[in-house]
Amino acid sequence: MPVSGRQCLKREKMITTSRFDRSRSNRYSIGMIKPLPKISLFAFLPVFLSGCIHVNLSSQSVQPPIDDSEGVVSKGNAAAELLVKPETLLPDGEVIIQVANRGETALEYGRPFSVEKWTEEGWLETEASQNSFWTMELLHLEPGETGVEQKWPFPDETPAPARYRISKLVHSQTDSREPLVIRAQIEVKAPAN
C-alpha cells in the first residue's frame, strides 16, 4: 500500500496526520498578531541604551559590591561588626582588625580570618591567606566589648594596590549552630611618586 506525505503506517493501522487549521484557532493566536510598525522599535532604542550607560568604558575595574555581611551583622540576639583601621593604606602600611560585639549575648571566635582581593572575576582569596597558619584558641567577647587586635598584611606579604576584603566567623555563645560571617573592605593605594 503506498504511503503519501500525509499518511503513515504504524502497527498495521492507518494514521492520518493533519495540519494546523488556522480557521479554528481563536482570535488571539500568534498567526493573527499584527507586526509592530518599524517606527515603534526606534522608540524603545533610548530605553535599551540607557541600561548600557553604567558600563565603565575606561580601563578602571568595577567597584566591588557591598553585601549584608559588612557593617553590623545580626542574627537573633547576636550582633557583631568587623572593625578595620585604617580602611585605606599604602602597600607598606598595616591594618588593625578587631571584632566588636554589638549584640545582647556573648560571642566566641578564633584568630583565623581570610583575605580576598577584588578581581575581574569577583572576590578571590589571596595566596597568603590560603597559606596562613593560626593558633587555635577560643576568644570570648561580652556584649559591648571589642576583641583583641590582629594585624594585616601577613608577615612577608606586600599587598598590591587593589581592594581587599577581610572575613571572619563568630559564634553566639547561646546559639552556636550557624556562625555570623562579618566582613570589612580595605583599599590599598599605590605609593605616591
Report yes or no on 53 lying in a domain. Answer: no
Report yes or no on 87 lying in a domain. Answer: yes
Number of domains composing the chain = 1
Q: Over the Cα atoms of the chain, what is R_g?
A: 31
Query: For each of the chain's 193 residues, which pLDDT tens digit applies?
Result: 454 444 444 444 444 444 444 444 444 444 444 555 554 444 444 444 444 333 333 334 567 777 778 889 988 889 999 999 999 998 788 999 999 999 999 999 999 999 999 999 999 999 999 999 898 899 999 999 999 999 999 888 889 999 999 999 999 988 767 899 999 999 999 887 7
Report yes or no on 64 lying in a domain. Answer: no
How far is Cα 186 from Cα 55, in angstroms, rounded to an integer? 24
From residue 147, give the alpha-carbon distance in Å to each of 76, 101, 109: 21, 8, 10
pTM for this one? 0.65
Look at residue 175 in the predicted model and tell me its pLDDT.
75
Report yes or no on 112 lying in a domain. Answer: yes
- The domain that holds 134 is classified in CATH as 2.60.40.3880
Report yes or no on 1 lying in a domain. Answer: no
Look at residue 20 in the predicted model and tell me its pLDDT.
44
CB of 151 within 8 A of CB of 97?
yes
Look at residue 65 in the predicted model and tell me its pLDDT.
75
CB of 82 within 8 A of CB of 99?
yes
